[in-house]
Amino acid sequence: MYRLTRAYRGIIIDAGHGGNDPGASGNGIIEKELTLEIANYIHNRLDELGIRNTMVRTTDETVEPTERVNRVLDPYGSGSDVIVVSNHINAGGADN
C-alpha cells in the first residue's frame, strides 16, 4: 500500500511538448510521443492507487506556454500541497 506522508491537494502530470512542438527526436523516438506515453502510465497508476491527479494534455496537441501554466494551476492551485510532474526526455550526443 502506498501513501503520501503529507497532505496534498493533487498531482499534476505534464507530458512535455506536443502538437507542433515535437521536442527532441532521434533513433525513431519523438519526445512528445514518449512523454505522453509516460504521463498516461503515471496517470493510470495513480488512479489505481486512488491518488488524485490531473493531466495537462491527454492527446498530441499544441499547448502554448501560458495555457500550459493555466492547466497546471487550474485544478488544484499553486500551494505547497500540489505536486507537479513535468516529463521531458532530452537528447544527448554521447556514444556511451
For residue 55, the model assigns a pLDDT of 98
Sheet of 10-15: strand order equals 53-55, 10-15, 82-87
For residue 5, the model assigns a pLDDT of 72
pLDDT tens, the chain, 96 aa long: 566 677 889 999 999 999 999 999 888 899 999 999 999 999 999 999 999 999 999 999 999 999 999 999 999 999 999 999 999 997 766 665
Q: Which residues contact 36 (CB under 8 A, 6 or more apart)?
A: 15, 18, 57, 58, 59, 60
Domains by residue range for the chain, with CATH: 10-87 (3.40.630.40)
For residue 90, the model assigns a pLDDT of 79
